[in-house]
């Protein structure tokens, strides 16, 4: 049997905005207005691929400029539609993202580079559906939606999907992590198969591979950095190995030592801990806000506004919420509680050190987290960061404990087989001994 591989020529990367958009002077003007100097690596690769109509999978961290990488080709895609605008029914572009905060952020990026009257609207849960339906029915070109609310609107027949020909699944790994696979699949079924599909993700997991295999056509994969789990090198990573009881004091010392212009994101493992740290911050007159899923949408928006406009400089969030916040200029990420997996660690510290800036991450690590010690050491070493002695000790102790545990697990089997040996006699002799007793 022979296997035929289709080797497609892949569009060459661009090095400047002009190379990518020489035919689109309005886009060049918008980029100039935004004072961007040069394309980021993912943009260099993605623009020629997306402008030639190919499907693409972009593996890149948040902060790499991946949104502009798919937003500008989306504008050109809409502008190139053959049906006149007034005759078009339904949006031409759908961008699906894991949470409302991300949806709002993407919409801001769309509006910032506004192109030839292209309109967009956000669709997410937790708010009244009517306004969103009204906005859609007015006729928008781009819908930016969370999977859950998008499904609701589709089921209720509020959305004409026939015209959608450019689909983006942003942060697809997170959507899968959050259990949105069924909703995503329903959305994908509703859209014509001849669409152009873009998937972005920070990690390249087996679940994502399956999704990409089923719903993209010969996609070009663009990977910024390594496919292995590595942390961005623009972040100085510090790991503090301590007991749970010592954390609080060290943490507040750290906060007191922050410079006035620092913007700190503190991530806790639970709502309860988030509330507790938040109250402690208020008692100590530290300019902080907190955000978790138990808070009203209005409170969450207020907290984000306060941190964006500098009214507060410390944001305390649960891990679930912190994943989806996109707050520029975060100088420090503090992992008050260490994440449950290392992909999450990499995501979290990627909240700082973005868009050409450097950042700092400080992670508390207790004995409870020792299962992650070896992987954390690998990530720290790969990024040339200091590895604390306590972390190496925990890694060794965890390894030893695991080996011991494995041996213990095998022991009952061996015991059965060698009961006679344990008595210090041969099997036959042991049997005889047993009988004689």
Contacting positions for ligand AMP (CB under 6 A)? 36, 39-40, 43, 62-68, 326, 328, 354-356
Maximum CA extent, the chain = 100
Least distance from C-beta 147 to ligand AMP, angstroms? 19
Least distance from C-beta 63 to ligand AMP, angstroms? 5
DSSP string, 6-41: --PPPPPPPSSHHHHHTT-HHHHHHHHHTT--S--H
Nearer to ligand AMP, 67 or 100 (CB): 67
Going from the C-alpha of 146 to that of each of 41, 62, 207, 275, 317, the distances in angstroms are 27, 18, 19, 27, 20
Report yes or no: 20 and 14 within 8 Å, Cβ to Cβ. Answer: yes
Report yes or no: 143 and 120 within 8 Å, Cβ to Cβ. Answer: yes
Nearer to ligand AMP, 168 or 264 (CB): 168
Nearer to ligand AMP, 120 or 132 (CB): 120
Nearer to ligand AMP, 41 or 269 (CB): 41
CA–CA dist 206, 81 (Å, integer): 35
Least distance from C-beta 171 to ligand AMP, angstroms? 10
Nearer to ligand AMP, 101 or 326 (CB): 326
Least distance from C-beta 370 to ligand AMP, angstroms? 33
Strand, coil or helix: 223 = strand
CB contact set of 113 (below 8 Å; sequence gap of 6+): 27, 30, 31, 34, 68, 71, 72, 75
DSSP-derived letter for residue 323 is: T
Nearer to ligand AMP, 94 or 395 (CB): 94
Least distance from C-beta 186 to ligand AMP, angstroms? 26
CA neighbor of 336 nearest in space, from 382, 277, 380:
277
Q: Which helix (H) or strand (E) holds 332?
A: strand 332-335
Nearer to ligand AMP, 43 or 196 (CB): 43
Least distance from C-beta 326 to ligand AMP, angstroms? 6
Least distance from C-beta 292 to ligand AMP, angstroms? 22
């Amino acid at each position: 049997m022979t296997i035929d591989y289709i080797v497609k020529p892949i569009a060459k990367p661009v090095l400047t905005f002009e190379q990518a958009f020489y035919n689109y002077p309005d886009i060049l003007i918008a980029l100039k207005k935004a004072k961007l100097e040069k394309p980021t690596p993912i943009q260099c690769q993605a623009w020629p691929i997306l402008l030639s109509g190919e499907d693409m999978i972009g593996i890149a961290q948040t902060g790499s400029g991946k949104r502009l990488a798919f937003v500008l080709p989306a504008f050109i895609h809409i502008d190139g539609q053959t049906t006149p605008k007034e005759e078009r029914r339904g949006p031409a572009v759908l961008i699906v993202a894991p949470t409302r905060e991300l949806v709002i952020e993407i919409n801001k990026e769309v509006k910032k580079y506004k192109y030839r009257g292209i309109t967009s609207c956000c669709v997410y849960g937790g708010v009244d559906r009517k306004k969103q339906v009204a906005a859609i029915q007015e006729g928008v070109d781009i819908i930016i939606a969370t999977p859950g609310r998008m499904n609701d609107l589709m089921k209720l027949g509020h959305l004409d999907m026939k015209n959608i020909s450019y689909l983006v699944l942003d942060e697809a790994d997170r959507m899968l992590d959050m259990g949105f696979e069924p909703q995503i699949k329903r959305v994908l079924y509703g859209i014509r198969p001849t669409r152009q599909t873009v998937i972005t993700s920070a990690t390249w997991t087996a679940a994502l591979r399956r999704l990409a295999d089923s719903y993209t056509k010969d996609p070009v994969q663009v990977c910024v950095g390594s496919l292995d789990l590595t942390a961005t090198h623009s972040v100085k990573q510090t790991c503090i190995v301590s007991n749970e009881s010592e954390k609080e004091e060290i943490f507040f010392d750290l906060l007191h030592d922050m410079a006035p212009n620092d913007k700190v994101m503190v991530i806790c493992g639970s709502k309860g801990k988030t509330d507790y740290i938040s109250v402690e911050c208020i008692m100590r007159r530290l300019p902080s806000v907190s955000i978790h899923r138990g808070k009203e949408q209005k409170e969450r928006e207020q907290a984000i506004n306060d941190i964006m406009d500098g009214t507060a400089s410390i944001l305390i969030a649960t891990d679930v919420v912190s994943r989806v916040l996109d707050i520029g200029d975060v100088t420090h990420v503090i992992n008050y509680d260490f994440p449950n997996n290392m992909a999450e660690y990499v995501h979290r510290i990627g909240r700082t050190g973005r868009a050409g800036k450097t950042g700092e991450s400080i992670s508390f690590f207790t004995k409870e987290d020792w299962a992650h010690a070896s992987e954390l050491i690998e990530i720290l070493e790969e990024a040339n960061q200091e590895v604390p002695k306590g972390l190496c000790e925990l890694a060794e102790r965890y390894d030893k404990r695991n080996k011991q545990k494995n041996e213990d697990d095998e022991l009952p089997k061996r015991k059965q087989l060698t009961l006679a040996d344990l008595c210090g006699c041969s099997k036959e002799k042991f049997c005889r001994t047993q009988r004689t007793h």
